[in-house]
Structure 1
Amino acid sequence: MRPQKILDIEILTGLTEVFRSKGYEGASLKELSEATGLKKASLYHRFPNGKQEMADAVLNHLSNWVKDNVFQSLLDNNVEPKMRLKNGLLAIRTLYNGGKATCIFRALSMKAGFDLFDQQIKNGMNEWLSSFKEVGIALKLSPKEAQQKALQVLIAIQGSLIVTKGLGDISVFENTLQNIEYNYLHE
């Protein structure tokens, strides 16, 4: 058996970049092929169900990364709650490259993408809400307050990514994360 010339993580990184920048509908096979360094035939060999399977692989890859880095940080009962929040926000900075990267949920939530991935997007958002609610409860918020704050966090992060992109100003994203930390720790 011949060794793979391109590592799976490199393929997923290339696919992620294209789907984040073009969305599901806008991502062409040519762009996906170029971003991965694979010819179209090799891409189809790895992903026999085509673009949908590629996007699904990206969603699973990012979901696993978020679980291992963001949620694990927020939910780690061996760490004091303030530090859990700070570590989670640090992982979010990494996930979105300091505000430069588009959220995959947004990129795949246009009509065709949402029709194909709506349950994964809903599940992912619910996991974000649950994790931020848990850290809120650990910070002594009531369950209702923690749920409301978690929803505001999700809205703030998603909104800040859009505004950051629209204004071309990554300080919007950074300020949003700082405000989230402040709101949890000083209200």
Structure 2
Amino acid sequence: MRPQKVLDIEILTSLTKVFRAKGYEGASLKDLSDATGLKKASLYHRFPNGKKEMAEAVLNHIDVWVKAHIFQALNNTENTAEVRLKNALKEVRNLYDKGNETCVLRALSMQSSLELFGSHIESAMTEWITVFTKFGTDINLTPEIAKAKAIQTLIEIQGSLIVCKGLNNIALFENTLKHIENNYLKH
């Protein structure tokens, strides 16, 4: 068997960039092929169900990364609440390249792609809320307040990414993360 010319992680990273930039509908097979360096036939060999399977692989890859980095940092009770939150927000910065990257969940929640990926997107967002709610209860917020803060945190992260792009000002993303930190730690 010949060794793969492009590593799987590199393929997923390249596919992620295309879906973030163009969404599901806007990403053509040529775009995906060009980004990965693979011919269309090679892409279909790896992803027999085509573009939908590629997007699903990207969503799964992001889910695994978020759990291993953001959620693990937030759930690490060996650290203080402040360290846990700071580490998790550091990973949020990494996930979105300090506010330069669009959220894949947003990019895949447009038009007909929402019909294809809506369940996955809802599940991912629910998990964000669950993990941040648990953190809130860990720092002695009532379950109701913890959940409200968790939902607001998700809204602020997602909203700031859109506003950063619209105003071409990534400093807004950093300001949002600092606001989230203060909101939890100075309750």
- What's the TM-score, normalizing by structure 1? 0.99
* Secondary structure in structure 1 of the residue aligned to 2:140: coil
Gap regions ≥5 residues in structure 1: none
The residue type paired with residue 60 of structure 2 is: N
Match of 2:69 in 1: 69
Partner of 1:84: 84
> Which structure 2 segments of 5+ residues have no match?
none
* Match of residue 149 from structure 1: 149
Aligned residue for 1:109?
A: 109
Q: How does 1:1-187 map to 2 (within 5 A)?
A: 1-187=1-187
**Superposed CA offset, 1:21-78 (max 9, x none):** 0000000000000000000000000000000000000000000000000001111122
For residues 89 and 82 of structure 1, the distance between their equivalents in structure 2, rounded to whole angstroms, comes to 11
User: Which 4+ runs in 1 deviate beyond 4 A?
Assistant: none
CA contact (8 A) 1:15 1:35 kept: yes
The alignment of Structure 1 onto Structure 2 pairs a total of residues equal to 187
Please, what TM-score do these two structures have when normalized by structure 2? 0.99
| RMSD, aligned CA | 0.6
Please tell me whether the aligned partners of residues 33 and 43 of structure 1 are also in contact (alpha carbons under 8 angstroms). Answer: yes
Tell me the distance in 2 between the aligned counterparts of 1:183 and 1:67: 23
Matches of 1:20 and 1:110, distance apart in 2: 12
Task: Report the Cα distance in structure 1 between the residues aligned to 2:81 and 2:137, rounded to whole angstroms.
Answer: 9
Is the CA contact 1:82–1:139 (under 8 Å) kept in the aligned structure 2?
A: no
**Aligned AA (2:160):** S
Per-residue deviation, 1:138: 1.2
In structure 1, distance between residues paired with 2:185 and 2:59: 31
